[in-house]
């Protein structure tokens, strides 16, 4: 899969998840949810999936995604003048995003492994055999022949 299709699938899944948490439960405006999702999905893909995940494992990348999603949701929703419980909304959003990211990382790792797994093809190799390199024949026996 290309980077565009991965980030698009991440955006759509996060939009559904954050719509349920932020809009339905906490009453955040839908356009604000779209902006939060857009910024969060791009940032988490660039930092979490392209930088941290190839160098570490799924657990470390998920922890980084949790911290990043909590911070971004907290500050972005606060910037949109949210009147509700900001900490709980950010915490539930970060937990939901982290659970999604744990599954998303496994698919990204599979894609990276498939891209790096290159079949070199068949090698047509030949060997050369001669009397000079036959280890079973002594030099004296070779001279007597």
pLDDT digits (tens, 9 = 90+) for 95-125: 999 999 999 888 877 777 777 676 666 777 6
Rounded mean pLDDT, 122-133 = 67
- 41, pLDDT greater than 70: yes
- Residue 62 counted as domain residue: yes
Residue 144, pLDDT score: 61
Question: Where residue 29 falls among pLDDT bands split at 50, 70, 90?
Answer: very high
Residue 139 tokens, joined: 């030099």
Positive or negative torsion for Cα 128, 133, 136, 138:
positive
Question: For the chain, what is the domain count?
Answer: 1
- Residue 140 counted as domain residue: no
Q: Across the chain, what does the average pLDDT equal?
A: 85
* Closest C-alpha to 53, from 106, 131, 99: 106
Rounded mean pLDDT, 60-73 = 94
- 127, pLDDT greater than 80: no
- Residue 123 counted as domain residue: no
Residue 125 tokens, joined: 């190799």
- Residue 126 counted as domain residue: no
Q: Output the CA–CA distances (angstroms, integers) from residue 25 to 56, 80, 85, in the order listed.
A: 34, 17, 11
End-to-end CA distance of the chain: 66
- Residue 36 counted as domain residue: yes
Distance CA 46, CA 68 (A): 12
Residue 145, pLDDT score: 57
Rounded mean pLDDT, 37-47 = 94
Residues of the domain holding 62: 3-116
- Residue 40 counted as domain residue: yes
- Residue 54 counted as domain residue: yes
Residue 138, pLDDT score: 61
- Residue 97 counted as domain residue: yes
pTM: 0.74
């Amino acid at each position: 899969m290309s980077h565009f299709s991965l980030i698009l699938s991440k955006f759509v899944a996060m939009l559904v998840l954050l719509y349920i948490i932020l809009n339905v439960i906490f009453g955040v405006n839908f356009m604000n949810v779209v902006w939060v999702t857009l910024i969060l999905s791009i940032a988490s893909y660039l930092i979490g999936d392209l930088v941290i995940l190839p160098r570490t494992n799924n657990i470390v990348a998920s922890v980084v995604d949790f911290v990043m999603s909590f911070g971004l949701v907290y500050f972005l929703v606060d910037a949109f003048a949210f009147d509700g419980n900001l900490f709980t909304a950010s915490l539930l959003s970060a937990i939901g995003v982290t659970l999604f990211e744990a599954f998303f990382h496994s698919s990204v790792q599979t894609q990276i492994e498939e891209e790096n797994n290159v079949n070199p093809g068949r090698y047509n190799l030949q060997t050369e055999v001669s009397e000079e390199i036959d280890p079973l024949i002594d030099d004296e026996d070779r001279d007597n022949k």
